[in-house]
Amino acid sequence: MKIPELLAPAGNLEKLKIAIDYGADAVYCAGKSFGLRAKADNFTKEELELAIDYAHQRGKKVYLTLNIIAHNSDLDKLRDYLDYIDSIDIDALIVSDPGVLYLIREAGLDIDIHLSTQANTVNWASAKFWEDYGLERLILARELSIAEINEINEKTDIELETFVHGAMCISYSGRCLLSNYMTGRDANRGNCAQPCRWEYNLVENNRPGQFWEIDDDGDRGSYIMNSKDLNLFNYLPAIINAGVDSLKIEGRMKSLNYVATVTSVYRKALDNILVEGEKYQADPELANHLNKISHRPYTTGFYDGQPGKDGQNYSSSSYIRKYRYLGIVKGYLPELGQAIVQVKNKINIGDNIEFFGPGADCFEQKVTNIYSNDGEELDVANHPESIVKIPVSKEISENYIIRRHENEEN
């Protein structure tokens, strides 16, 4: 069985390193312009070069997003950026706009091109068009069933990439104008205000100022465009058998905890499939880690066909947060049996905490002592980004995530 590439999001350099350390075969990221996540930290030119070096030293790949729908005012700056891209060893460019693709070809860049999901590829004929044009990969629209993906694979020879986890968009693979119309922020140039997550009421034209809640069988239904999050963990064998070459995780604006957990869980599952083959069964304990990150209720999206009303969350746009991300391990002192921890949220003496690391390695313990970086005993670590030391029950390595159940009483 051919195991596909696992492709993880990298909103900044730290998240890129986490994604790779937790098992991603490749990462996708953006520079400071021309990507569709303007509010992510993104990468300066210097950071991008460091990222490429970090990935390539470990045999991993870096894909750069240039997937805005470009206006005339973008093109001269894009030409300059393409000159820079030609000087670095990026593995592929993710593009949606034919005009951007034209400029890449005009510049003579010898680099793989992946067609963004923004291009809305939903049939095999479109896939053949892009294959004949010389592209190396299609990032398929989210609006495809497993049967449709299988048919596209059977009728083409181009690489196929599909989303398996993360946020869903109410519009066709992100081609949305709501944000432009309602806020002036262009979603197709990376600056979406996410109005699909807002709460709405009904107004009748002849009664301005009078608002009615939108109800559905007596329940509140105001968040009429709020999609649940995609989770296809339990369907990996079928997706692999459909001929998909790359499994994509959404989330360049998500936390380190999200990137580490989701990447590690899917990496472990793919490794299990490689070993077990047709005998593979999805591990519910492994899947449960996906419930420990901040997420909306899960859906399988279009996997079995058109989703019904169960694909939306009409009652709220808030996230489910069962666990709190407390910090990340920056080192281990074997002579003292202590983890060096960068604090993200408050850690108390007596907390029952969970350590989670690459390979979905997980163990729990109680916090018995906390020491400052200077060795002073503390009752609590409550300064974000501060460095503390915590005794641990087993040897641990850098970049383990620390979290605590939200209902844990201290």
Do 161 and 132 contact (CB within 8 A), yes or no? no
Q: How confident is the model at residue 211 (pLDDT cuts 50, 70, 90)?
A: low
**Nearest by Cα to 139 from 274, 295, 244:** 244
Q: What percent of the chain has pLDDT over 90?
A: 72
Listed residue (135, 95, 97, 100) closest to 116, CA to CA:
95
Q: What is the pTM of this model?
A: 0.87
How far is residue 8's CA from residue 171's CA, in Å, rounded to a whole number?
22
Three-class DSSP category at 31:
strand
Class assignment of domain 323-405? mainly beta
Assign 221 a pLDDT band (cuts: 50, 70, 90): very low
26-40, 44-58, 184-198, 221-235: the lowest-pLDDT one: 184-198
Buried b vs exposed e over 267-287: b needs ≥16 C-beta within 10 Å? bbbbebbeeeeeebeeeeebe
Q: What is the pLDDT of residues 73-121, one digit of tens each?
A: 999 999 999 999 999 999 999 999 999 999 999 999 999 999 999 899 9
Question: Where are the chain's structural domains?
Answer: 5-173+226-311, 323-405
In the CATH hierarchy, which fold is given to the domain comprising 5-173+226-311? TIM Barrel (3.20.20)
Separation between Cα atoms, residue 405 and residue 353, nearest integer Å: 8
What number is the average pLDDT over the span 139-148? Answer: 95
Asked if pLDDT for residue 312 goes beyond 90, the answer is no
Q: Is the pLDDT assigned to residue 409 strictly greater than 60? A: no
